[in-house]
Amino acid sequence: MSQRKPVRKAVFPVAGLGTRFLPATKSIPKEMLPIVDKPLIQYAVEEALEAGIDTLIFVTSRKKHAISDHFDTAFELETRLAEAGKVDLLARITQIVPKNVSRVHVTQREALGLGHAILCAESIVDDEPFAILLADDMIRSPGRGALAQMLDVHDQTGASVIGVEEIPEKMTRSYGIVGVNHAEDGFQEIHTIVEKPAPQDAPSRLGVVGRYVLSPHVFSCLRDVQAGAGGEIQLTDGIAAMLKSHRVLAYPFAGVRYDCGSRQGFIKATIDYALDHHELRDDILEHMSGILLQYSVEKESGKP
C-alpha cells in the first residue's frame, strides 16, 4: 500500500461565465447564486473544511470580486450587527471560514477550459496531492461529505480518486465517463476516461461529477495534452494521460448530487434544502400542497 501525503489544499474553479443563468449572472457570479440563504460556493467550501482542507484556492476571473468579498471581512456590516446585538447573524458571517484556513485567489486570464484552470493553481498546490471541487455539483450527504469520503479512500490507497455516479444511458453526452476494473482491494480502478461520448461509445454508465482528489502528476499531464476546440485544455484529457503511470479510482460517494449548473437542478436543490430548514419547512409544504391541489383540479377540468 502506498503512503498517502495529507491532502490540505482544495482548488475551486470559479471563472466560468454561467451563461445558462443569464441575465442573473451578468453581474453576479453563478457560484454566488443562493440555495436558501447560502451561495453555492459556500456549500462547497464547507464540504472542503469538513474534510480537513486548510488552504482554499479560488481560480477566478478579473470580474468575480463578489466571491472574494463573500469570504472576506465586512467591517461595517459586522459592526452594525454587533451594535444591534444580533449575535446569531454576526456568527453566520464571521464563521464562514475559520481563521486558521488560508484563502488564495488566482486569476485565470482566459477561459481555456477546466484543465487550464487547474494549471493556474499549480504554483500554489506545488508537489502535493490536492482536491478539486466544482460548486455547480452540490452534494448533499447523509453523513460525512463526499470529499471526506474520498479522502478516506485516498488515505487507504494513496491513489487519486474521482467522484462518480451512475447516470442514464442517454445522458452520457453530458459527462466524462469512466471504464473501470474491480481491483483486489475492493475499489473500482479506472482504465479509461472519455469526455462526453455517445451512448454506444461509452465504456460504462459511471459519470464523473465535480469532486476529485488528484496526484500533482496531473499538472505535467495537462501541460502535455493537446488543446481542443477554442484552445481549451480539458481536465479529462490530463487524467486520461495520468492513467498510464498512476492509479486512479472511481468512487460512487454516498449522497445526492444536484446539478446546479442547470436551472432544473438549481430549483430542485432549493426546494429540498428549504424543506430541510426548520424555519421554512411548514410554509413551503403548505405552499406546495396548494400548488399541487390547483394543478390536480386544472388537470381534471382539462386545462392545458
pLDDT in tens, 149-196: 999 999 999 999 999 999 999 999 999 999 999 988 889 999 999 989
Question: For residue 1, is pLDDT > 50?
Answer: no
Is pLDDT of 2 > 50?
no
| Listed range (38-42, 71-75, 171-175, 298-302) with the worst mean pLDDT | 298-302
Check pLDDT > 80 for residue 60: yes
- Per-domain boundaries in the chain: 9-261, 262-304
Under a CB-based contact definition with an 8 Å cutoff, are residues 156 and 1 in contact? yes
Mean pLDDT for the stretch of residues 205-231: 89
- How far out from the chain centre does Cα 299 lie? 39
Q: Is the pLDDT of residue 64 over 90?
A: no
Average pLDDT over residues 124-139: 95
CATH hierarchy code of domain 9-261 = 3.90.550.10
pTM: 0.90
Buried b / exposed e over 109-125, threshold 16 CB at 10 Å, is eeebbbbbbbbbbbebb
Contact indicator for 113, 229 with CB cutoff of 8 Å: no
Task: Kindly state the percentage of the chain with pLDDT values over 90.
Answer: 65
Q: What is the DSSP letter of 291?
A: H
Cα–Cα separations (whole angstroms), residue 244 to 82, 181, 241: 56, 15, 6
